[in-house]
């Protein structure tokens, strides 16, 4: 059921505060209005568009937090990170990332996002991938926004290893998951 | 023991015929002469330099042989292929492929070469990666030439699967290996 404008706008603010990465299209669907209506709502409420909201979050700058590689070497945009625990990144799939023939995203781009997040999450100056098992569960297309989550699941300080599991979703559906065995200089996090 | 020039030049021709991808440095080592001597030998014998030899092999053009993707979508240069059996590619690691900090090649480039070769070897219009396990056995540096071999090890026609193992070497030392479970349209090769 469509809600009155005032109520919709209030809920809109709450929804976007909860999840700054929600798209206008998703909001339109949720509130059963047109995308244009959502845009007008956002203008009235002075809520920046998604692209700007993401920049905003990203500009909190994880430059000083990510240790194992410079931030510009991360494939995708890191939007949350807690070293040696978990990290989150966003990657927008564009035409140049898909197979010309079938429009399906090439595996190595999804792997690159996941792998660089597995590197970034390590609280160490050096982190290298030793081994990885990855599964592509659902084709990803151009225009899809891939949200990838890395979680540190274990450490083996004797072997200088950290284990990371990574899961990627598009609109809450899993498209990719993997496990990464990472080598690091120090055996243990402080 | 160093051989007389005539004998060396004869062996040089044989060696290069056997393996067109041998470098002047490797030849110099093999014949215990300087790289400059090898270059002079090649000039006298009118054997083009490695770069030209590779182009020559590549220009045999596998465009009509590779089915599952256009040749320009293959990462690396395919230098030999027998569909549904095996394939070979070369990838020259450059500055843009390595981590700024430690000069080690980023995993996703090695994965991209291996994965696209696993796609290319499939004798089908459509081939997608389902699952992969990969191991990085030795760091690769800028300037390294990675030679990657893909071998089809099995088919499961009921599940439309083809299994491919891939091994990458630099100067005959393994740097990477992996297994790829590929989905294809047709269950079986003709």
Q: HSE of A142 in the Cβ direction (CA atoms, 13 Å)?
A: 10
CA–CA dist B76, B120 (Å, integer) = 11
Strands B145-156 and B161-170, sheet pairing:
antiparallel
Cβ(B77)–Cβ(B90) under 8 Å? yes
Cα separation, A118 vs A164, in Å, equals 6
Q: What are phi and psi of B135, to 5 degrees?
A: -130, 130
pLDDT at B55: 65
Domain-embedded: residue B45: yes
Size of interface A-B (CB pairs under 8 A): 79
| Residues A132 and A165 occupy one common structural domain | yes
Residues A49, A71 within the same domain: no
Put simply, the answer to whether A108 touches B73 (Cβ < 8 Å) is no
Across chain B, mean pLDDT equals 88
Same domain for A37 and A99, yes or no, is no
Name the pLDDT band for B150 (thresholds 50, 70, 90).
Answer: very high
Q: Which of these, A25, A16, A86, A82, lies nearest to A54 by C-alpha position?
A: A16
In a domain, A189, yes or no: no
Q: How many domains does chain A have?
A: 2
| The two structure tokens encoding residue B51 | 């770069």
| A77: in domain | yes
Cβ count within 10 A of residue A114: 30
Question: How far is the alpha carbon of A70 from chain B, nearest alpha carbon, in Å?
Answer: 8
CATH of the domain at B172: 3.10.129.10
In a domain, B190, yes or no: no
- Place B60 in a pLDDT band, splitting at 50, 70 and 90: low
Whether A20 and chain B come into contact, CB under 8 Å, resolves to no
**pLDDT for the residue numbered B171:** 87
Verify that A102 and A145 share a domain, yes or no. Answer: yes
Note whether A109 and A169 are same-domain residues. Answer: yes
**Domain check: are B38 and B51 in the same one?**
yes
Q: What is the pLDDT of residue B189?
A: 46
Does residue A170 lie within any of the structural domains? yes
**Could you tell me the pLDDT band of residue B190, with boundaries at 50, 70 and 90?**
very low
Q: Kindly state whether residues B14 and B100 are assigned to the same domain.
A: no
B93 and B151, same domain (yes or no): yes
Final residue of a structural domain among B37, B57, B77: B57
Nearest CB neighbour to B135, from listed A131, A136, A139? A131
Contact with chain A for residue B89, Cβ under 8 A: no
Query: Are residues A86 and A176 located together in one domain of the fold?
Result: yes
Please check whether residue B129 lies inside any domain of the structure.
yes
Candidates A72, A97, A120, A134, partner chain B, best to mutate (most B CBs within 10 A): A134
Please check whether residue A190 lies inside any domain of the structure: no
B133:A131 CB<8 A = yes
Which of A185, A154, A180 has the alpha carbon at shortest distance from A167?
A180
In Å, how far are A177, B38, B129 from A167, measured between CA atoms?
4, 52, 17
ipTM confidence = 0.70
pLDDT tens track for B123-141 = 998 899 999 999 999 999 9
> Domain end: A15, A30, A57, which one?
A57
In a domain, A98, yes or no: yes
Q: Are residues B175 and B122 in the same domain?
A: yes
Same domain, B91 and B152: yes
Rounded-to-integer distance, Cα A43 and Cα A184, Å: 47
Q: B73 CB near a chain A CB, below 8 Å?
A: yes
For strand B161-170 and strand B127-136, is the pairing parallel, antiparallel, or unpaired?
Answer: unpaired
Quick one: B34 and B50 in the same domain? Answer: yes
Identify the CATH number of the domain in which residue A21 sits: 1.10.10.10
Positions of chain A with pLDDT under 50: 188-190
pLDDT in tens, A83-134: 999 999 999 999 999 998 889 999 999 999 999 999 999 999 889 999 999 9
Domain extent, residue A49, equals 5-57
Residue B63, pLDDT > 80, answer no
Helices (H), B3-125: 5-18, 24-31, 35-45, 50-58, 107-120
């Amino acid at each position: 059921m469509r809600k009155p404008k005032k109520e919709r706008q209030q809920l809109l603010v709450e929804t976007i505060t909860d999840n700054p990465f929600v798209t206008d299209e998703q909001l339109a669907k949720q509130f059963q209005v047109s995308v244009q209506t959502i845009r007008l709502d956002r203008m009235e409420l002075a809520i920046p568009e998604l692209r700007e909201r993401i920049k905003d979050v990203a500009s909190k700058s994880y430059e000083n937090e990510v240790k194992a590689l410079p931030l510009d070497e991360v494939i995708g945009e890191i939007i949350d990170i807690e070293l040696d625990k978990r990290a989150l990144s966003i990657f927008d799939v564009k035409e140049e990332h898909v197979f010309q023939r079938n429009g399906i995203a090439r595996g190595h781009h999804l792997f690159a996002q996941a792998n660089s997040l597995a590197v970034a999450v390590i609280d160490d100056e050096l982190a290298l991938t030793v081994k990885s098992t990855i599964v592509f569960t659902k084709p990803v297309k151009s225009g899809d926004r891939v949200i990838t989550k890395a979680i540190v699941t274990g450490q083996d300080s004797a072997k200088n290893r950290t284990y990371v599991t990574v899961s990627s979703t598009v609109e809450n559906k899993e498209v990719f998951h993997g496990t990464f065995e990472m080598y690091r200089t120090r055996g243990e996090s402080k």
